[in-house]
Amino acid sequence: MVTSNIQRVAGFFALTFLVSWISWGIGAFLGTDTIFWPVLSTLAGFGPLIAGGVFSWRQGELRAWTRQLARWRVDGRWWILAVVGAPVLSLVGYGIFIAVSDASLGLGGGPASVAVTYLILFAYIFLLRGGIGEEMGWRGYALPELQKKYTTLVAALIVGIAWAGWHLPLFVIQGTRQSGSFALYLASVIGLSVVLAWLYTNTKGSVLLAVIFHAQWNVFDSGALFAPQTTTGLVAPAASALVIWGFAIIVILADRETMLSRPDDLQFATSTE
């Protein structure tokens, strides 16, 4: 029996959630203050990659799937977007945050200290937390499979909902850094999914650039480089959601050809050229 794209994506989501939620669950049971939590939570973060690898192997496309991470020869404007886009958007969000709240903002140390913090945090996220482990699954597998049936926008929305829902255990496990309003988080993640789908599609399947944008967004949006002080807890995530959706809407309207069509010729990137 031939398995449809939707069945494969459903299977991918199921395996991703299974690997990650079991890992987070065991970690929570043992305690987030134990030495086991960092190991198990890191493993959980690789759930999308593991599932993407399994399903790509089953389809005989494992080599093509992995090559997406090496696809770096793309137009320079996409490199600029991947490296600079997320920090700029995040800083706009901070500007809104400061303008409508009682917040004060400054560097979390001297310039040298901030630079070191940035490099360490970027490498950590890129390799272990929300970078390769997530993007090889969400963008590297689920998105192109869904694009075989749906427009890029619809595929991005589906991936965004699943991506946000995947994080749900972290909102209920005590001792994790995931907190606040899940509704605002959901909105932000879906908006980010739209932007990443646009980037991935226009680079003909470069997971590498998606990982870079994702890592940059996490670094700057986390506030780790700054020293925000405020009592308005929901303003920051609301500003973040507003900015990423503002950019997502611009992307949709400005590039309808990409976002409102189904790229029939987009399979896994089969070349690093």
Please tell me the predicted confidence (pLDDT) of residue 228: 63
38-to-136, 170, 224 alpha-carbon distances in Å = 21, 13, 19
Beta pairing partners, 31: none
Q: What is the dihedral of CA 158, 162, 164, 168, to 10 degrees?
A: 150
Beta pairing partners, 158: none
Please tell me the predicted confidence (pLDDT) of residue 174: 86
Q: Give the span between the Cα atoms of 89 and 217, in whole angstroms.
A: 8
The alpha carbon dihedral of 173, 175, 177, 181 has a sign of positive
Please tell me the predicted confidence (pLDDT) of residue 271: 39
> DSSP character for 149?
T
* Distance from the first to the final alpha carbon of the chain: 35
Please tell me the predicted confidence (pLDDT) of residue 265: 59
Please tell me the predicted confidence (pLDDT) of residue 147: 94
Q: Give the span between the Cα atoms of 221 and 218, in whole angstroms.
A: 5
**Per-residue pLDDT tens digits of the chain, which is 273 residues long:** 446 888 999 999 999 999 999 999 999 999 999 999 999 999 999 999 999 999 999 999 999 999 999 999 999 999 999 999 999 999 898 888 888 877 666 666 667 778 888 999 999 999 998 899 999 999 999 999 999 999 999 999 999 999 999 999 999 998 887 877 899 999 999 999 999 999 999 999 999 999 999 999 999 887 777 766 655 567 778 889 999 999 999 999 999 999 999 886 565 443 333
Exposure of 161 by Cβ count < 10 A (0-12 exposed, 13-18 middle, 19+ buried)?
A: middle
Q: Is the pTM of this model over 0.85?
A: yes
